[in-house]
Every structure is written in C-alpha cells, then in structure tokens.
Amino acid sequence: MAEKMIKAAVLHKVGDLRVEEVPMPEITNDNDVLVKIGTVGVCGSDVHYYTHGRIGDFVVEAPLILGHESAGVVEEVGSGVTDLKPGDRVAIEPGVPCGMCRYCRDGRYNLCPDVVFLGTPPVHGAYVEYLVHPAEFTYKLADNVTLAEGAMIEPLSVGLQGVKMSGIRAGDTIAILGGGPIGLATLQSARACGAGVSIITDLYDFRLDLAGKLGATHTINAKSDDVEAAIMDLTNGIGADVVFETAGTGRTMAQTVDVVRTGGTIVLIGLGGDDMVPLNLIRLIINEVAIKTVSRYANTYPPGIALASQGKVDLKSMITGEFPLAEVETALRQSIDNPESTIKTMVNVSS
C-alpha cells in the first residue's frame, strides 16, 4: 500500500518556502493524539527563519516545516488517552518538555533544556495538514472559542507569563513598549489581572487604535512623541509600577529604565537582534528596580482558554489577515511588507 501523503509548508533555505507533500504522521505513543490542523498563526520567529535562516543558536540546516501557534480537531487518539476524543477541537501547546529535570519538577518546564518545540530547528512544526502531539499538551477548546482563537492562545500565553512574572497587583500602573501581538496580548492579560492605568507605545497608529479598544487608557506614538516625557507626565513624574518591553529593540529596552518608578519592575519579553544592550545600571541599582525576563510560558494554556471563553480577552480583533496554506509565503510576508496594518496573520491549513 502506498504511503499516504499530506501537504505542508517546508522551508528549504532563506526565502525558499514550498508547499509540498510529506508523509502522513502516525501515532506511535499511547499518550499521543493525531490532530487535523485547522489554523496556524504566523509568528515573528517564522518570519525570521524565512528571512534569516536562524534565530540565535537555532539554525535551519535541513528542510523544516515552520509554525507553532496552532489549533485543530482531534482525528485519532492513542490507547492511553482518556481526556480527548476524535472530534474535539483543541489548541496545541508547542513546547514539550522532558518532564524529569529540576525545572520540570519545579513547574518551570519552559526552562527545560531538552524541550521539543514545534517549528524550531530541527523539530518540524504546524504548517501541515496533520500533526501528532502529546495529549498532555493538547487542550480542549470551549464551544465558544474558535480555532483561530485557539491558535491565538500561544501568543496570549506569552503575555500571561509576563504578567505572572511581573507580580502585578490590582490597580498598578503599567507601561507596555511595543503594540504588536505580544504587546497587545500582554495588555489584555494585565487588564484581566486588574491593571489600572495602562499605557502602550508603538510606531503605528493602527496598532495604537486597537490597543485603545482592547483596554489601553493611554497610547503614545513613539515615532512622533517623546515616550519618556509622555509616560512620566501621565504618571505625575513617578513612572510606571510595571514596564513591559515587548518590541525587542535596543531603544525600547533602554527606555524601560527611564519610565519605571523607583522600586518598580521591568519585564523583558521582546527578542531582538542585539545580544548586548546598554542599560543605566546605576539608576537600576539606586532605584532598586527588579528586572524579570520571560522565556515562552508554563501552565498558561488552561487559564488562557478560560479567559477567551469568558470574554475577558478579545483575540479575534488581533487577527488582521487570513490565507490558505497555498499562500503561506504571502502570509509570512505580511508583517514585512505591511507592518503598518498587520498584527496577527493566520494560515487556514484546512481550507
């Protein structure tokens, strides 16, 4: 019998992304599920692999299926799976840790050194019609949460992780530097946790307008306004209790020190191209500012799905484009060619 083939978007080298046939995956572990992928969100990491072929030490050295923000419908379950069944609509958490190291045992499995993460070299990702994944990291969606929203639980999880790391308290004033998908996910996560005055900055009015609709009390265009002066003015010269950096630029990372209050907290989420960024360490030390960093997320999918189901976050409004798998390259290029009107682009694999 001939091997069944399915379609996938495979990156062969920089700028060479092809939709081609690959073998149909099969369940080989009793605790795995086979998922028919419905929707996959385009992440900045997908774009970076497409344009540069690497992110840090992760290098595309062989053909790679990209994509990790995904949701779909369970097609088949292994014999050991009891909490999922064929027909269930699910969101897929892309990182699978070892479950045995000290980080996994401490509940910080996002730091597992042996984590297997979809769409990260050499692990194939989710721009594919069918995917086998551990049931433990496959979550049933509420009936009122769409597959597109299910795929958006991944970037929402980054925001939830940032808020968890921040130690934010009800009524705290926050500033978010960067109004892209992660910035907007962080904004909504912080508002859901009781943030008060919420300031967000970005270069594009389109993103700032949406941020206002999603709960930002103040927006600042970093292209035309003095960000530091504006934030200090809005906080009566004190600064924000918590500053989230989500843009991943050296400029915004340095700005965090200038807009956080004495005794406040900086949370670094954005990943940029610079390994070394100058920060005013003397000010950080004298003002006893805490710095937290975020590496993906842990234990955020269930609360993220609950927030979406309860209407406490609006994920649909962040979706600014949808393309079929055949046009995946166009989908990836949206943030490159149209950054002023793009937040999150979706690839509808099943369409």
Mean pLDDT of 5-30: 97
- What's phi and psi for 200, nearest 5 deg? -135, 145
Contacts of 253 (CB under 8 A, 6+ apart): 245, 268, 270, 272, 277, 279
- Average the pLDDT over each of 28-42, 85-99, 189-203, 269-283 and give the range with the smallest value: 269-283
Same domain, yes or no, for 171 and 289?
yes
Q: What is the CATH number of the domain that holds 207?
A: 3.40.50.720
Write the CA distances from 259 to 48, 95, 140, 246, 286, integer angstroms: 29, 33, 40, 15, 15
Answer yes or no: do 9 and 135 share one domain: yes
Both 131 and 238 in a single domain? no
205 lies in the same domain as 100: no
pLDDT band at 351 (very low <50, low <70, confident <90, very high): low
Residues 272 and 337 in one domain: no
| pLDDT tens figures, 212-229 | 999 999 999 999 999 999
298 found inside a domain: no
- Identify whether 130 is part of a domain: yes
* Residues 141-180 pLDDT 10s: 999 999 999 999 999 999 999 999 999 999 999 999 999 9
How many domains does the chain fold into?
A: 2
What is the percentage of the chain residues whose pLDDT exceeds 90?
95
Does 332 score more than 70 pLDDT?
A: yes
Residues 164 and 289 in one domain: yes
List, for residues 253-292, the tens digit of each pLDDT value: 999 999 999 999 999 999 876 778 889 999 999 999 999 9
The mean pLDDT of the chain is: 96
Which amino acid type is present at position 149?
E
Treating both helix axes as pointing N-terminal to C-terminal, what angle do 181-192 and 301-309 enclose, rounded to 10 degrees? 80
- For residues 344 and 285, state if they share a domain: no
Give the pLDDT confidence score for residue 350 in this predicted structure: 87
In a domain, 68, yes or no: yes
Residues 93 and 121 in one domain: yes
pTM: 0.96
Residue 247 lies in a domain: yes
What is the DSSP annotation of 22-43? EEPP---STTEEEEEEEEEEPP
Would you say residue 205 has pLDDT above 90?
yes
Domain identity same for 109 and 166: no
Instruction: Say if residue 335 is in the same domain as residue 283.
Output: no
Q: Is residue 260 part of a domain?
A: yes
Alpha-carbon span 205 to 341, nearest angstrom: 9
Which H/E stretch holds residue 231?
helix 227-234
Residues 6+ apart with CB under 8 A from 233: none
| Lookup result for tokens 């950054």 | 339
Checking if the pLDDT of 1 tops 80, the result is no
Mean pLDDT, to the nearest integer, of 333-345? 95
Asked if residue 339 is part of any domain, the answer here is yes
**CATH code at 66?**
3.90.180.10
Q: Is there a single domain that holds both residue 168 and residue 289?
A: yes
Q: Is residue 308 part of a domain?
A: no
Residue 310 pLDDT: 97
Considering the domain architecture, whether residues 169 and 250 belong to the same structural domain is answered as: yes
Query: 320 in a domain, yes or no?
Result: yes
Q: Which domain holds residue 180?
A: 159-293
